[in-house]
Structure 1
């Protein structure tokens, strides 16, 4: 489904209202519902949070902030002065990434092709596009088709070392993005391939960063926020506007008095687990350690060998004591899975 935003807003608004009455698929209805809300006279728009650590919440976002945030992203990518941009929208329109993609398209008059969310959105695409947004699993299954895209914004969750290596020799410009519903999208990016690739996120010019006593990131925007936003993202600040993401404070495990960040172990072992398999590190109660490290993998059981050599020295405490296989984390491969919810169900069985 093509939507051409180069036409005048009034003409497009009437187009939306007509489309609202058609019998569309749910993803199409969500797109037109958002556009209808965007063009009304209300200053607020509602959006679902990602649900990283719990049930997704409905948040009220100011259109003024969304507008400014969209401009910052396009300026960062140096697409603000280019005309005739063609974009591909392949994420769920219920969440902030798609909403902000649409806002950028509206502001800068892009022509975009909307396709239903799937793990392999480029499979049947033969058109060339300037830009798209994807989650890492979509990028992985689209590797041989990325030649059709100039710029890919990758978000939703962290990119594995395995995928970063796959992207090194690809001509498509790939950025890892950092942002959330509460920030109305991106506040920082890092280029993950090409000559100027980086190992850290660099924030946009309007962003002020700091950390609390847990080393969790605090965010403020001089143009798009009313107060500092406290996150539970553990980061390492390199400078006042650059940082590396380490993990979520919500996921920290205390095993035998040692605080362990699961995401660090996940990076270490990602090479030894098939990429199409979703997995995570968690813990279960232990009489001696309090909590012991376990590995949870989605899908049917299979033989897995993780070399002991990666758990040398202090890392010996990081070695999973058990491996559990669960048939499905969520129904949709693109959905974020909730670790604590999965572990509660696992411990009940």
Structure 2
């Protein structure tokens, strides 16, 4: 029998205490009235979850466009929680660490998973470096890459960590390799109720998977742009067409190549900024993005935008030219610097807004 959104699992615990449906409402009111700002947001979410409506209004992060509100069915959120639980083998009574803000879908879904699957969840302040009991063993945790970067030396007692929300950088991937925990990169969005696909990252406990694999009841195809189309009937009624260009291995696995709206067509050669950024990471220590700028000869030329560079553009260009992994078309034709990238409220780079500010168009 499939769990429903109006029930609280009898094994559910919140910060060490069991609460019934009605008791959890009282906790939510207390958080709203007396809690810190991040706790007030959590209280608001719990009140919305525990009411009689069958849907929630959730804000997107705005990383690929303007932030918007999305209406999600609560049962779809339950279905997503079950799919995640099945994928990772989570059982009632398992312990989960929750360190994400409750503003967005990833933070909300950590609570939903606990409520539906009967997890014992410890909720801590969602800082860039979350403080938690380093000696306690946890079965499951979700983090953004920035949090994992700052806590990489303290996560030895967390068995499984999913990482999403922004790109997992190569330096972080290298650090992950030396850890005992299992790490997984996630793919998804608000509209798909967080992740619909997962790929394992290399650590001491297992090898890296090059392709993302679908969660249960989810299938993929490509449209005529080679962009991913998601079929997830238990999460969203209609097929969801993305702007993510993929190498589709099967109807349940794919490799992410880049965003369709980011592709740079330079002299007839299609360049994927996300792939070039991967190759450039060893040469540039600051945050940066690759983009296209109008060019009379090439149509578009490849440019590099660096946030607060510590060296000169000549130094950066020399470091890039020393890389052995770049094709000749992937070397930026021009380098720009900027004091600060445009960001969403949760720290994601707003690529289009940043490029527009730099190029003035």
Instruction: Give the structure-2-normalised TM-score.
Output: 0.88
For 1:8 and 1:281, how far apart are their aligned partners in 2? Answer: 50
Task: Tell me the residue number matched to 1:15.
Answer: 27
- Post-superposition Cα deviations, 1:95-126, rounded to whole Å, max 9, x if no partner, equal 11111111001112323233333322258855
Please tell me whether residue 140 in structure 1 is matched to residue 149 in structure 2: yes
| Cα distance change, pair 125–333 in 1 and its aligned pair in 2 (3 A) | farther
Q: Any residues of structure 2 matched to 1:1-349 within 5 Å, and which? A: 3-4=15-16, 6-22=18-34, 24-79=35-90, 81-83=91-93, 85-122=94-131, 125-193=134-202, 194-274=205-285, 277-302=286-311, 303-304=315-316, 305-310=319-324, 315-330=327-342, 334-348=346-360
- Post-superposition Cα deviations, 1:21-52, rounded to whole Å, max 9, x if no partner, equal 22x33221111111110000001101111212
For 2:344 and 2:256, how far apart are their aligned partners in 1? Answer: 26
For 1:111 and 1:195, how far apart are their aligned partners in 2? Answer: 26
Pairwise CA RMSD = 2.2
Q: Cα distance, 1:5 vs. partner?
A: 6.7
For these two proteins, the number of residue pairs brought into alignment is: 341
| Cα distance change, pair 122–190 in 1 and its aligned pair in 2 (3 A) | farther
Structure 1: gaps (5+ residues)? none
Q: Cα distance, 1:283 vs. partner?
A: 2.1
For 2:181 and 2:40, how far apart are their aligned partners in 1? Answer: 31
Q: Cα distance, 1:326 vs. partner?
A: 1.7
| Cα distance change, pair 298–278 in 1 and its aligned pair in 2 (3 A) | same
Structure 2: gaps (5+ residues)? 1-13
For 1:213 and 1:123, how far apart are their aligned partners in 2? Answer: 47
Q: Cα distance, 1:144 vs. partner?
A: 1.1
Instruction: Give the structure-1-normalised TM-score.
Output: 0.91
- Post-superposition Cα deviations, 1:271-325, rounded to whole Å, max 9, x if no partner, equal 2222xx321111222222222111112224324312345366xx21111122222
